[in-house]
């Protein structure tokens, strides 16, 4: 099943100059970027994206998350491919970088723990957001991208998997 999913390279990924290396991982795996843009998220837009965080994890978590996400630009991407939601999540790794397996994006480029972030009153610097399920992906892609900002094209990988 060909799916679209949202990937956000968070301010820490942008500031550390990891965008190219992270995007290459998705392209190397055969996914294609069909939409991309740099956005400096404001808190109002952040509340739309993280609409359920306060309910699930509390107002303080939402406050810290929004402070982190609005400190610098974010690279928003719509990534497309076979079972993109599940496979991108596998590539990204555990939300807590300390627990992420080597070979995942978070496991290779970050090591911060929830405990460290909580003790310092900061958002967890985990580099990347990827939609959690197919429904969430549809909602998030629709929030971040207009239809005319998403592009269709053929890649060598598509030719390879269809022949």
Closest by CA position to 25, among listed 98, 96, 107: 107
The range of the structural domain enclosing residue 110 comes to 2-40+74-157
pLDDT digits (tens, 9 = 90+) for 97-123: 999 999 999 999 999 999 999 899 888
Residue 51 lies in a domain: no
pLDDT of residue 36 exceeding 90, the answer is yes
Residue 48 lies in a domain: no
Residue 34 lies in a domain: yes
**How confident is the model at residue 160, as a pLDDT?**
76
Tell me if residue 55 falls in helix, strand or coil: helix
**How confident is the model at residue 163, as a pLDDT?**
64
pLDDT band at 156 (very low <50, low <70, confident <90, very high): confident
Q: What's the CA gap between 106 and 95, in Å, rounded?
A: 8
pLDDT band at 155 (very low <50, low <70, confident <90, very high): confident
Residue 15 lies in a domain: yes
What total number of domains does the chain contain? 1
Residue 123 lies in a domain: yes
Give the full edge-to-edge strand order of the sheet including 74-82: 32-39, 74-82, 2-9, 128-130
By annotation, the residues acting in catalysis are 129
pLDDT digits (tens, 9 = 90+) for 63-87: 999 999 999 999 999 999 999 999 9
pLDDT of residue 149 exceeding 90, the answer is yes
Q: What is the CATH number of the domain that holds 16?
A: 3.30.70.141
**151: which 2 tokens?**
């592009």
**How confident is the model at residue 11, as a pLDDT?**
98
Using only C-alpha atoms, the chain has a radius of gyration, in whole angstroms, of: 16
Cβ neighbours of residue 2 under 8 Å, at least 6 residues apart?
Answer: 80, 81, 82, 84
Residue 67 lies in a domain: no
């Amino acid at each position: 099943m060909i799916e679209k999913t949202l990937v956000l390279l968070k301010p820490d990924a942008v500031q550390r100059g990891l965008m190219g290396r992270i995007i290459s991982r998705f392209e190397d795996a055969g996914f294609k970027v069909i939409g991309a843009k740099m956005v400096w998220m404001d808190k109002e837009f952040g509340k739309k994206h993280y609409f359920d965080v306060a309910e699930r994890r509390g107002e303080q978590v939402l406050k810290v998350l929004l402070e982190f996400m609005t400190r610098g630009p974010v690279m928003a991407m719509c990534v497309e491919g076979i079972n993109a939601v599940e496979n991108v999540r596998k590539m990204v790794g555990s939300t807590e970088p300390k627990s992420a397996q080597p070979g995942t994006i978070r496991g290779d480029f970050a090591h911060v723990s929830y405990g460290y972030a909580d003790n310092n009153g900061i958002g967890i610097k985990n580099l990347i957001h990827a939609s959690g399920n197919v429904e969430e992906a549809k909602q998030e892609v629709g929030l971040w991208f207009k239809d005319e900002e998403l592009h269709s094209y053929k890649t060598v990988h598509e030719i390879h998997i269809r022949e």
